Amino acid sequence: MAFEILHELRPGGPRLGRLRTGRGAVDTPAFIPVGTNATVKALTPEEVAETGAQMVLANAFHLYLRPGPEVVEQAGGLHAFMGWPGPILTDSGGYQVFSLARMRTIDDDGVTFRSPIDGSAHRLTPEAVIDLQRRLGSDVVMPLDVCLGYPHELAEARAALEQTVRWAERSRAHHLRAGSGVLFGIVQGGFEPALRAEAAQRMAALNFVGYAIGGLSVGEPADRTYALLEGVVAELPPQRPRYLMGVGSVPSLLEGIARGVDLFDCALPTRVARTGIIFTATGRINIRNAAYRHDLQPPDPTCPCKACARTTRAYLRHLFASDEMLGPRLATYHNLFFLGHLVADAREALRAGHYEPWMRGVLARYTTAW
């Protein structure tokens, strides 16, 4: 993998880049749609590509539990299994072990937990997680990390940081011996600026090819997110790609780009789509609202996507009111297209050297909080 910075406004500021992988390039800043179970919910891979996505995320934890790495491996890896020929980033499962698994116990060597699907017992170690992602055939691999909630105690954050750094060292060593794809480091560290900076410095010292920033945007105020993000970015090697995990609202995406983030993933745009939340240039709307019963405008009147070209708010509202699958499907397509278009416009503004005024204009028109 090679990461090329094509244009950077100033050190630590927004930048235009290109991530080259053996499976194609990703123009950055980029939004990576979430395909937890080896499917971006409701869409075909062709449609995901139409939305402008060049990379998708799949979740190693979920795929480990179902269908199992042996099924994916025998199918020729994730790309063949799900029919997505482009690059795939896999999540290590750290976050899911902490948020979804039952009866989780953590020790220095790894994590033991029960499956949220059937209660069966499992153990993941940093090495097992690298092996798992190799079997899946991931292009961008994440190490096992320890995730904190918000708020947390300082002692907890210190322990999580130390554990994450030790696991990162083991992950790196194991990946050098037996890994595939490229391995990113994950910067955790909670909500204390000093711990975050330390986490970033210690990960930077391990010399990963890219850096994920985890554990932000989990409930803390947005100002705090952005301040912590700035602190982390300042400590990371500037020539390496930066990936802000789990962030994908319109304002946070644009603010993240403004602070030098290259990659984003988030389940929110697709998850809320399935409940009828549609992103528009003037903010999100809930298409189930009675106000749209007779509204013959496209879901987002300014959007050039197929769903907006071929449907109306009245029809989309009817689909949601009738629990028709086509509703979530069209809303998902639109929201991903909306974000794909947004990052493409951001790249255009970066190329032209006026990212910040462009962003201020977009956010002035976008009147909802997310």
Q: Which residues have a catalytic role annotated?
A: 91, 265
Decide if 188 contacts 160 (C-beta within 8 A). Answer: yes
Residue 311 touches a copy of itself, criterion: CB under 8 A? yes
Q: Which of 44, 112, 286, 368 binds a copy of itself (CB under 8 A)?
A: 44
Residue 312 touches a copy of itself, criterion: CB under 8 A? yes
Tokens at residue 119, please? Answer: 């209660």
Q: How buried is 314 (Cβ within 10 angstroms: 0-12 exposed, 13-18 middle, 19+ buried)?
A: middle
Residue 299 touches a copy of itself, criterion: CB under 8 A? no
Q: How buried is 312 (Cβ within 10 angstroms: 0-12 exposed, 13-18 middle, 19+ buried)?
A: middle
Residue 42 touches a copy of itself, criterion: CB under 8 A? yes
Residue 120 touches a copy of itself, criterion: CB under 8 A? no
State the residue for tokens 């029960």.
114
Residue 100 touches a copy of itself, criterion: CB under 8 A? no
- Side-by-side strand order, sheet with 88-91: 56-59, 88-91, 140-141, 182-183
Closer of 73 and 356 to a copy of itself (Cβ): 73
Q: How far is the CB of 250 from a copy of itself (least distance, A)?
A: 24
Residue 315 touches a copy of itself, criterion: CB under 8 A? yes
Residue 304 touches a copy of itself, criterion: CB under 8 A? no
Closer of 179 and 298 to a copy of itself (Cβ): 298
Report which of 264, 260, 257 is spatially closest to residue 232, judged by C-alpha positions: 260
Q: How far is the CB of 291 from a copy of itself (least distance, A)?
A: 13
Q: How far is the CB of 336 from a copy of itself (least distance, A)?
A: 14
Q: Which of 4, 11, 20, 74 binds a copy of itself (CB under 8 A)?
A: 74
Number of residues in contact with a copy of itself under rule CB under 8 A: 36
Residue 289 touches a copy of itself, criterion: CB under 8 A? no
Residue 71 touches a copy of itself, criterion: CB under 8 A? yes
Residue 291 touches a copy of itself, criterion: CB under 8 A? no
Q: List the x/- string, 236-275, binding to a copy of itself by CB under 8 A.
A: ----------------------------------------
Residue 290 touches a copy of itself, criterion: CB under 8 A? no
Q: Which of 75, 173, 197, 362 binds a copy of itself (CB under 8 A)?
A: 75
Residue 43 touches a copy of itself, criterion: CB under 8 A? yes
Binding positions for a copy of itself, rule: CB under 8 A = 37-39, 41-45, 62, 66-67, 71, 74-75, 81-83, 293-294, 296, 310-312, 314-315, 317-319, 321-322, 324-326, 328-330
